[in-house]
């Protein structure tokens, strides 16, 4: 079992039933944190994450909420704090990617993406901050994307939301520093969450210099570092995690 560098800390991970969120939740628990596994519409993935954590003796719970709705976020955070004893770490990960063309986006679709990917992050932060202020300590980790900087041809609104997350992190780092709360952002590149085509399994080094795409475990290890006491002087940073693919 990995060294328990986060022993006794409580973490809330949004969108932890699948992909990157699942990987982060499991690794936080493996390192000793008590983990709240958030999901929205289906509990199947969250239950699977919970079972994986319990297999190695980790302590966790599942929590449901629509992160686009403030009242549901408040209820979720209050439940986590009551059950697990406060909130030390927030990982904002839940996101919506519709892959809709620039001209095809409707106002409703735009609002859905922004309300989850950006407003949802903002409101989750607002909900946990009172608990973090009480102890003059907190770690907020935001999952953005390289597409917050590099435009795509498949989902402009998703990219806009991911760019906004970076600035949300920078502004929040300034405002929350006085309370001992750090805010940092991870911008992953291509991460294999089980949805890639077979062509991505052995990608070209012309596009992926390390010869592979990322894994949820890659993001999880960085998230755990940012959640630890080793990063007390790091705040307002955005770390690109893409195996150098952005450099090509």
Number of H helices, E strands in the chain: 7, 7
Q: Say whether 158 is catalytic.
A: yes
Q: Nearest-CA neighbor of 190 among 228, 244, 238, 118?
A: 244
Q: Is 106 exposed, middle or buried (0-12, 13-18, 19+ CB in 10 A)?
A: exposed
Q: Nearest-CA neighbor of 12 among 52, 54, 63, 58?
A: 63
| Residue 197 CB neighbours (<10 A) | 6
245: left (phi over 0), alpha (psi -120 to 50) or beta: alpha
Angle among Cα 166, 29, 15 to the nearest 5 degrees reads 45
What's the rounded Cα separation, in Å, for the pair 147 and 151? 6
| Residue 60 CB neighbours (<10 A) | 24
What is the arrangement of strands in the sheet containing 89-92, beginning at the earlier edge strand? 60-64, 34-39, 10-13, 89-92, 138-143, 181-188, 238-241
Q: Out of 110, 137, 158, 225, which one is annotated catalytic?
A: 158
The residues annotated as belonging to the active site are 158
């Amino acid at each position: 079992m990995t060294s328990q560098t986060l022993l006794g800390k409580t973490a809330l991970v949004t969108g932890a039933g699948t992909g990157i969120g699942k990987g982060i939740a499991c690794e936080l628990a493996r390192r000793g944190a008590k983990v709240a596994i958030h999901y929205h519409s289906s509990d199947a993935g969250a239950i699977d994450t919970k079972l994986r954590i319990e297999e190695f003796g980790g302590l966790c719970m599942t929590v449901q909420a629509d992160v686009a709705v403030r009242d549901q976020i408040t209820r979720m955070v209050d439940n986590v704090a009551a059950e697990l004893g406060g909130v030390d770490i927030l990982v904002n990960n839940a996101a919506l990617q519709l892959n809709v063309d620039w001209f095809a986006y409707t106002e409703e679709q735009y609002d859905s993406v922004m309300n989850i990917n950006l407003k949802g992050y903002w409101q989750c932060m607002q909900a946990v901050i009172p608990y973090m202020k009480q102890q003059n300590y907190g770690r907020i980790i935001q999952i953005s994307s390289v597409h917050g900087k590099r435009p795509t041809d498949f989902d402009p609104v998703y990219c806009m939301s991911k760019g906004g997350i970076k600035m949300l992190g920078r502004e929040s780092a300034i405002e929350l520093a006085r309370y001992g709360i750090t805010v940092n952002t991870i911008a992953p590149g291509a991460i294999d969450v089980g949805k890639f085509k077979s062509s991505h399994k052995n990608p070209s080094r012309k596009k992926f210099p390390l010869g592979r795409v990322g894994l949820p475990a890659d993001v999880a290890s960085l998230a755990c570092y940012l959640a630890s006491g080793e990063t007390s002087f790091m705040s307002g940073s955005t770390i690109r995690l893409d195996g150098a693919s952005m450099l090509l």
